[in-house]
Amino acid sequence: MNILYIVKHFPCLSQTFVLHEITSLLDKGHDVHIVSAIDLHEQIIHQQFERYRLSERTRYLEYDYLYRYAPTHNHSRDEAIAEAKRLLASNVDEVAQSEKKTL
């Protein structure tokens, strides 16, 4: 099964719960992909997860600054959802192309 995790930022030292979920799914044979809205540009290494090569499974949204600085308090819930869907759709092709290159 293909599974996509969409997270605010990845990797992050406080995300051990998510890391355990992802690695458990990988151990069960699922194909897990990670999309991070923000690239913190930090080299965070979780020694116990190195064998999963999670950094190779992670793609970052091209327009992370929109996520960081968007005035979400000025948008209704429906507008925020529509904008998130638009931004995600604009990056789907990029993620798919990146996956093809790594395979």
Q: What confidence score (pLDDT) does residue 66 get? A: 56
Q: What confidence score (pLDDT) does residue 53 get? A: 85
Q: Tell whether the model's pLDDT for residue 77 goes beyond 80.
A: no
Report, as an integer, the average pLDDT of 8-21. Answer: 83
Q: What confidence score (pLDDT) does residue 6 get? A: 86
User: What are the Cα distances from residue 20, in Å, to 3, 10, 50, 54, 83?
Assistant: 14, 13, 12, 12, 30
Give the domain extent around 77.
2-102
Confidence of residue 97 (pLDDT cuts 50, 70, 90): low
Sign of CA dihedral 64, 60, 12, 85: positive
**Number of separate domains in the chain:** 1
